[in-house]
Amino acid sequence: MRIKVIACEVMQAEIENLMPIPDRDFEFVSMDFHLYPQKLKVELQRLIDASQNYQKIILAFGLCGGSANGLISKTSELIIPRVHDCISIFMCSDTCRAFDFQKEMGTFYLSNGWMITEKSILSDYQRIYDRFGEKKARRMLENMYDGYKKVLFIETSAEPKDMVIEQSREIAKLFEAEYQTVKGEIGFIERIITGPWDEDNFITLLPMQEISDADFSKNARSA
C-alpha cells in the first residue's frame, strides 16, 4: 500500500529519525505557513490534490487555526490526528489519547522545530529596539505576547543545537518569564506515520468526505 505523508516542518527532524519507513513518501510544509492559516489551507489542499495516486494520505498536522477545515481528497483516504495543534503531538506517548492533553495557561511552548520561526521574536525585537528604542520594542512584545508567564522548551529525539537552546532562553528573558524544559514524546508521531489510526486519536475520511472543525471535538467520535 502506497501512503503519502504530508507533515509540518516542525516535526521533520523527529520523523527523519524514524526513517527509513517502508511504503511511505514524505513531503514537509514550511513553518512559515503557520502564520497564515488560510495560506496553509491552500497549500495543504494543493499537496493533497497532487497526491491522488496514493491509497492513503496522512496529514501530520492538527486543526492548526482552522487551516484543516474544508480539506478534501477526491480519490484517496485522508487521515489526520484529532488534535488542535502540534503541542499535543509532541507531549503525548504512543498510548495516550492526544485530545486529552491540556495546555498550561500562560505557557509559551517551544521545540527544536518551532524555533525555525519563533526565533524571529528575537530579531523583530532587536530591529524595533535599534530603530525606535527600548520603550517601543517592549510595547511590541507586550502587545503580541502579554500573558505568558512561562516558556516551556520541549526536548525530543531531535537533539537541539546549543544555539537553539540559548535562543529559547533569550525569548524567556524578553518575556520576563520562567524558563523550563520538559521531555517530549515521539511515540505519537510514530503512530501518525505508521498507525494504528484509532478513532479516539485520528479522523479518517473516505474520498470526497470533507474535514470539518467539528471533527476535532471530543464528542465527534461515533459510539
Q: What is the pLDDT of residues 51-93, one digit of tens each?
A: 999 999 999 999 988 999 999 999 999 999 999 888 888 887 7
**Residue in 23, 72, 24 with CA at minimum distance from that of residue 44:** 72
Distance CA 47, CA 82 (A): 20
The mean pLDDT value for 25-35 works out to 91
Instruction: Using pLDDT thresholds of 50, 70 and 90, give the confidence band for residue 97.
Output: low
Backbone φ and ψ of 138, nearest 5° = -65, -35
Instruction: Using pLDDT thresholds of 50, 70 and 90, give the confidence band for residue 223.
Output: very low
21-30's contacts with Cβ under 8 Å and 24+ in sequence apart are 21/193, 21/194, 24/193, 25/54, 27/51, 29/61
**Per-residue pLDDT at 218:** 58
Q: What are the residues whose beta carbons fall under 8 Å from the beta carbon of 211, sequence distance 6 or more?
A: 68, 69, 70, 71, 72, 78, 80, 203, 205
**What is the pTM for the complete model shown?**
0.86
Distance CA 201, CA 62 (A): 11
**Per-residue pLDDT at 117:** 78
* Residues constituting the chain: 223
**Per-residue pLDDT at 222:** 42
- Tell which wins on pLDDT, 94 or 195: 195
**Per-residue pLDDT at 92:** 79
Check residue 199 and report its DSSP letter: T
- The predicted-structure confidence for 113-165, as pLDDT tens digits, reads as follows 888 878 889 999 999 999 999 999 999 999 999 889 999 999 886 666 788 88
**Residue in 102, 89, 101 with CA at minimum distance from that of residue 184:** 89
Contact 175, 141 (CB under 8 A): yes
Backbone φ and ψ of 57, nearest 5° = -125, 125
- The predicted-structure confidence for 153-164, as pLDDT tens digits, reads as follows 998 866 667 888
For the chain, the average pLDDT equals: 89
